[in-house]
Chains A and B, each alone.
Chain A
């Protein structure tokens, strides 16, 4: 069009426009992995000194364990008696303590950790699923009609959940739904993750695991439901004053389409970050809930490692927890970068 020709000349050179190149996100991930690796190195160094500052006599702990052979015991003795610098050198050669022996059980620590990992993953996965599905929806609905009846009711309930200590909620659940007091039948088992003698990979096993997981997952989810719904509500409210939502309404879109297609994707960015960071933390932070329910995951193992002063096990667990925080931090950043073009640049 003749009309546009002078305008064309001005824009022809500006910005090549176009989609973000795959190289962009690739470079972003690479950068995050490298910086994550840097953090890991720092954590490994920290991990060495932290557990050598703890009080107690590790050698005595090992002597008390029956099933450690004399040769192993001698090796451990020698290691513990060596000067700190020698120990540090040995640590640098094997920072993951791949052949570390638990002072509490006398087994290789990573066997112990491995055996306790899957219940935590089940617990964490189910509670995250519950809290995201409920919390995010409640937050969206409350924030969209801010000050409405649903908002008032849900905010009151979520604040209550948010303020409830996990251990108390856990005990209440056990009391009411598991031990069968008064009019309440014993609906769910408490303690353990599966009835003994069942293969967890069979149908019966899955049912048994589900029964054992319902209560701890509920106790764990409660606080996160509250957290996600409060954050999501705040983001939706923030988003509502944005001009692009006026544009979306002006286009003639129905209210729920404006919400779903425009408001929610923008408003969920902070919540998504939080969810992934929380997953990283909960792996180490389910200690309370797992202990209350005697749920044999990594949290309970941590509790046991501390009470048994098993510092090799503590060191391994500490590594798992910090690694999970680092990894889920990276995942959070990458997911956000995938969702938000402004971060990819």
Chain B
């Protein structure tokens, strides 16, 4: 059963320069126990999508479509229900763990807080025990509960954030680039750890990463976003080995060297920059950078279409014999 389901989700920021459509119609679903990877260049709308799952988008943003956590629409539920769903049913390891902790509170207090909030049976004692267990699970000594955030390294903070996301045993766990501050070896370990715990507890997990090789090895399925939309979705291994969308092919080619930081942001062999969401090209937003573009691409805004078993891709060539 899907624990998280997005149906035609749009998110638009209102700015002084006009509307910025950061997410433009995303459909995704994640089952309990499943790990879904989400990739895409910087600015394609991944974090905006995450914000909509807990209705944490800024007041300047409008969300349409349905965001269903455990079948309930997060965007329209009462505030009271929303507060229970937040962290109780869906939790997030936020991008930028460095600033996601309160700088003047001890780690332990910040970890205990959601437990006491959501579990009416919890006492400060049992909550502290649970926190100690979680810290051990993410590979931190229990004594770190007494530390302040500035006393931890970037990687340690990211582990604290993972422990924090696990405090209330949510059905849905979203990790927005949970390993960017870590070196490559530890990155793989932390992701394995996260996925291991989540799978063992039957959570649905979404992992956002620029590192396709990491996604390929840890996720069941992967979705790749471009300019606010999913452009290809399929089983992880297959997707990268036989990408159908030219953008995904270019991304996959860019990863001969696992974890080379620079290649995350500028995939080799992909000319030009990603478009700004408020200045999208006509037709397929990828066509100005696409090696396989044909005339049709600049006028037809192609949507996802079947591209093999369990796969979809948004490209005019898909289903037309190419790819």
Q: Which residues of A contact B (CB under 8 A)?
A: 1, 3-4, 6-8, 10-12, 14-20, 242-244, 246-254, 262, 265-266, 339-342
In Å, the complex CA distance between A53 and B17 comes to 62
Q: In whole angstroms, what is the CA distance A4 to B118 when docked? A: 27
Whether, in the assembled complex, B240 has its beta carbon less than 8 Å from a beta carbon of chain A, the answer is no
Residue B255, interface by CB 8 Å: no
B178–chain A nearest beta-carbon distance, Å: 14
| B124: Cβ under 8 A from any A Cβ | no
- Determine the chain B residues whose CB is within 8 A of the CB of A246 once the complex forms: 56, 94, 100
B interface size (C-beta, 8 A): 50
Task: List chain B positions with a Cβ less than 8 A from chain A.
Answer: 54, 56, 82-88, 91-92, 94, 96, 99-106, 113-114, 117-118, 136-141, 143-144, 146-148, 150-153, 156, 159, 164, 186, 189-190, 192-193, 196-197
The 10 residue pairs across chains A and B that have the minimum distance between CB atoms: A7-B139, A252-B86, A243-B99, A341-B148, A17-B147, A252-B83, A251-B114, A17-B144, A17-B143, A4-B139
Q: Tell me whether A244 and B101 are in contact (CB under 8 A).
A: yes
A11: chain B residues within 8 A (beta carbon): 139-141, 156, 159
CA distance A8 to B151 in the complex (A): 18
The A interface is mostly helix, strand or loop, or mixed, namely: helix
Q: Is the CB of A17 within 8 A of B151?
A: yes
**What is the bound-complex CA distance between A177 and B281, given in angstroms?**
70
Chain B positions within 8 Å of A16 at CB level = 143
Q: Which residues of chain A have C-beta atoms less than 8 A from B152's C-beta?
A: 15, 17
Kindly state the separation between the CA atoms of A167 and B114 in the bound complex, as whole angstroms.
52
Q: Are B100 and A244 in contact (CB under 8 A)?
A: yes
Contact between B146 and A243 (Cβ–Cβ < 8 Å)?
no
A272 to chain B: closest CB distance in Å?
Answer: 12
Residues of the B chain whose Cβ atoms lie less than 8 Å from the Cβ of A254: 83
Contact, CB under 8 Å: A342 / B150: yes
User: Which residues from A are CB-within-8-Å of B146?
Assistant: 17-19
Determine the chain B residues whose CB is within 8 A of the CB of A262 once the complex forms.
102, 105
Q: Is B54 a contact of A250 with CB atoms below 8 Å?
A: yes
Q: Is the beta-carbon distance between A266 and B103 smaller than 8 angstroms?
A: yes
B186 contacts A10, CB within 8 Å? yes
A–B complex contacts, Cβ < 8 Å, 25 sampled: A1-B136, A3-B137, A4-B137, A4-B193, A7-B189, A7-B193, A10-B139, A10-B186, A15-B147, A15-B153, A17-B144, A17-B151, A18-B147, A19-B146, A19-B147, A244-B99, A247-B94, A250-B54, A250-B86, A251-B87, A252-B83, A252-B114, A341-B103, A341-B150, A342-B103
Chain B residues near A18 (CB-CB < 8 A):
143, 146-147
Q: Within 8 Å CB of A250, what residues of B?
A: 54, 56, 86-87, 91-92, 94
CB distance from B46 to the nearest CB of A (A): 16
What's the nearest-Cβ distance from chain B to residue A122, in Å? 34
Shortest Cβ gap from A340 to chain B (Å) = 6
Partner of A3, one of B88, B148, B192: B192
Task: Give the residues in chain A near B197, CB-CB below 8 Å.
Answer: 3
Q: Are B193 and A3 in contact (CB under 8 A)?
A: yes
Q: Please, which residue of chain B has its CB at the minimum distance from the CB of A1?
A: B137
Cα distance A100–B120 in the bound complex, in angstroms:
69
List B contacts of A242 (CB < 8 A): 99
- What distance in Å separates the Cβ of B92 from its nearest Cβ neighbour in chain A? 6
Q: Which residue in chain A gives the minimum CB-CB distance to B102?
A: A244
Query: In the bound complex, how far is the Cα of B123 from the Cα of A38, in angstroms?
Result: 50
Q: Are B104 and A4 in contact (CB under 8 A)?
A: no
A340 closest partner in B (C-beta): B104
> From residue B114, how far is it (CB to closest CB) to chain A in Å?
4
- B94 near A243 with CB under 8 A, answer yes
Name which residue of chain A comes closest to B51, CB basis. Answer: A246
Task: Tell me if A4 and B138 are in contact (CB < 8 A).
Answer: yes
**Contact indicator A251/B113 (Cβ below 8 Å):** yes
Q: How far is the CB of A151 from chain B (nearest CB, A)?
A: 15
Determine which of B96, B114, B140 lies in contact with A243 in the assembled complex, contact meaning CB atoms within 8 Å. B96
CB distance from A250 to the nearest CB of B (A): 5
Q: Is the CB of A247 within 8 A of B101?
A: yes
Residues of A near B138 (CB, < 8 A) are: 4, 7
Please give the distance in Å from A238's CB to the nearest CB on chain B.
Answer: 13
A113 smallest CB distance to B (angstroms): 40
Instruction: Write out the residue numbers on chain A whose beta carbons fall within 8 Å of the beta carbon of B144.
Output: 15, 17
Taking CB atoms, residues of chain B closer than 8 Å to A1 are 136-137
Name B84's closest neighbour in chain A (CB-CB): A252
Minimum CB–CB distance from A341 to chain B (whole Å) comes to 4
The smallest C-beta distance from B203 to any residue of chain A, in angstroms, reads 15
Complex alpha-carbon distance, A268 and B130, angstroms: 32
- Nearest residue (CB) in B for A252 is B86
Additional A-B contacts beyond A11-B159, A18-B146, A243-B94 (8; CB < 8 A): A7-B193, A17-B141, A19-B106, A20-B148, A247-B102, A248-B102, A250-B54, A250-B56
Q: Using known A-B contacts A252-B86, A252-B118, A342-B150, determine if residue A7 contacts B186 with beta carbons closer than 8 Å.
A: yes
Contact A266:B87 (CB < 8 A) given known A7-B186, A11-B139, A341-B148: no
Q: How far is the CB of B27 from chain A (nearest CB, A)?
A: 24
- Contact between B153 and A14 (Cβ–Cβ < 8 Å)? yes
Q: What is the bound-complex CA distance between A4 and B159, given in angstroms?
A: 11
Tell me the nearest residue of chain B to A4, going by C-beta.
Answer: B139
Pair A4/B136 contact, Cβ less than 8 Å = yes
